[in-house]
Structure 1
Amino acid sequence: MHLLRVSHQRQRQPSDCLAACAAMVLAYNGIDYHYSQLLRLLRIQPHGTAFSALNALASLGVEVEIGRGARSDLEHHLDSGVPPILFVNTGMLSYWTSETGHAVVLIGLDNEVAHLHDPALDEPN
């Protein structure tokens, strides 16, 4: 199994996981964009931000596709070198003790494990 070489980015506030994930994907694609500018571009809100805010990345020349993804779709993106940003319920993640909506970056899949960069963590998991 191949893991995409995405640099991990820690979110700076509890509500800006989407911005941290966008920063990871932008950096992976060689796009240098300051984190504070990203917070403004995505209109990050104090209690979380709708996933559709990612559409604003199109203004940076990034192709954005939002929708439900089957495993085969995720595998296709990974095989194409595109790390997807996923919206997850943290109750489904073994290392979280609470349930909330959260954004993570998928960097690889094998038969039993989804390899994620979770911006709530200090280091990649």
Structure 2
Amino acid sequence: MHYDKKGDNEDIWYLDNGASNHMTAHREKFQDLDEVVTGRVRFGDGSTVQIMGKGTVVFACKKGEHKALQEVYYIPKLCSNIISLGQMTEDGNKVLMEGDTIKVFDRSGKLLMSVERM
């Protein structure tokens, strides 16, 4: 996991099946942010970073619609934007990994995203 934001593309979000929470370092991405929520996130290598809030990030989709990603941690020292596949399934979505493609469907079966694995 990287903690230095230099050279990071802030518009790239990584789908992570090892992360337990959605998270970003970019405060401007939040539609709403509760800065009372604090704590620490521990990564697989044992390192931790400070949580400075939790809120909702809204994405503009290809067909002009907007989708909200809720319960996103604000972690200023984080380098990458993370969408937790585990948290997506906890919220009632379905994640399908097939070949090199990952698809996420909402509760009604509507495709939310389809991406090629890296």
- Higher relative helix content: 1
**TM more than 0.5:** no
TM bucket (normalised to shorter chain) is: under 0.3
- Higher relative strand content: 2
Larger radius of gyration: 2
TM-score by length of 1: 0.26
